[in-house]
Amino acid sequence: MDLRQLTTFLHVAELGSLSKASERLRIAQPALSRQVRLLEEELGVPLFLRHGRGMTLTAAGDRLRARASGILRQLDETRADLLQEAAAVRGKVVFGLPPTVSAVLSTRLIERVLSAYPEVTLRVVQAFSGYLLDWLQSGEVDLAVVYAGLPVTGVRQAPLLMEMLHFVTPAGTGLSPHQAVPFPEIARERLVLPGPSHGLRRLVEAEAAQQGIILRVAVEADDLQVLKDLTRKRLGSTVLPLAAVHAEVAVGQLCAAPIVEPPLSRRLSVATALGRPVSNAVACFGRELRDEVGAMVREGVWLGHLLDGDRKPA
């Protein structure tokens, strides 16, 4: 097994096609096919199922993908660290964000980091917190913003932000960020919310159960843009952080008000893998992340309270 075979394997696994991998890598398809075949022969297991529409991973192939991705990333980081000067910041950072956070933070954070560190390359991965924590453990992600409350062995979670949730309605309802809405009023409205496995949905359902309230959930959608579109088209109202709808509220497409009785909030943390060396690029990215979130809170874009990142999470 060599690095070239692992690299080829990962590209084929991602694209699901030898021909597409051949175009990306600019290597003849027979040569790529031979590398995959040699790797399968060496390991003694099939890594792909071949069919008319391309190639899909077997169970063994899926396990190798998780391991190989981490191995190659560590080699890339080692090479970058050895080549760079002690004070230089260059290399690749793969960072993960939940959908509601990504919609708010990604563009501003990427712009900030690239402006400060032009030799850094970035990749953003969007997924629910549970997946992001798994990918941190396997080495596929360097750093992730996750919602607190999911303790995972081998991962450190540094507190970042206590995020206030808002009741979001179609335009013209008169809701304002300056006038709070009691939680029981939410029960009177038809709602569009994420599915039962989503942390935000569990938080809202838990409070409703505690107050003896039955929510009228008309549509379940795990996609942030779908939730906003359905609300804008007056098919229901939803619950989101203000930052996720700040632009739409500013131009009058949606209305939003903070929730009280009780206030609803979520804790965000910055998660990194314990025991794994952190490159200069990842360390600098983490500082820029915290600074950008702080700037958004000060500007009123993201309503919440910054948390002490040096304090161990509860």
Closest CA to 75 of 67, 87, 64: 67
Q: What is the CATH number of the domain that holds 168?
A: 3.40.190.290
Percent of the chain with pLDDT over 70: 95
Please indicate, yes or no, if residue 311 is contained in any of the structural domains.
no
- Per this entry, what is the length of the chain? 314
Number of domains within the chain:
3
Task: Collapse the DSSP code of 205 into the 3-class scheme (helix H, G, I; strand E, B; otherwise coil) and give the result.
Answer: helix
**DSSP character string of 259-276:** EETTTPEEEEEEEEETTS
Per the structure, the complete domain to which residue 129 belongs is given by: 77-161+267-306
Last residue of a domain, one of 52, 74, 96: 74
Q: What is the CATH number of the domain that holds 94?
A: 3.40.190.10
Pairing between strand 91-97 and 143-147?
Answer: parallel
Last residue of a domain, one of 74, 95, 115: 74
Cis peptide before 262 (omega within 30 of 0): yes
Alpha-carbon distances, residue 167 vs 79, 108, 142, 176, 231 (angstroms): 48, 24, 33, 10, 11
Write the pLDDT tens digit of every residue in 175-231.
Answer: 888 889 999 998 889 999 998 878 888 899 999 999 999 999 999 998 889 999 999
Please indicate, yes or no, if residue 139 is contained in any of the structural domains.
yes
Mean pLDDT within 32-52 = 90
Q: Do 124 and 171 belong to one domain? A: no
CB 280 within 8 A of CB 91: yes
Q: Annotate 61-76 with b (16+ C-beta within 10 A) or e (fewer).
A: beebbeebbbeebeee
Write the pLDDT tens digit of every residue in 267-304.
Answer: 999 999 988 888 889 999 999 999 999 999 998 888 88
Q: What is the CA radius of gyration of the chain?
A: 23
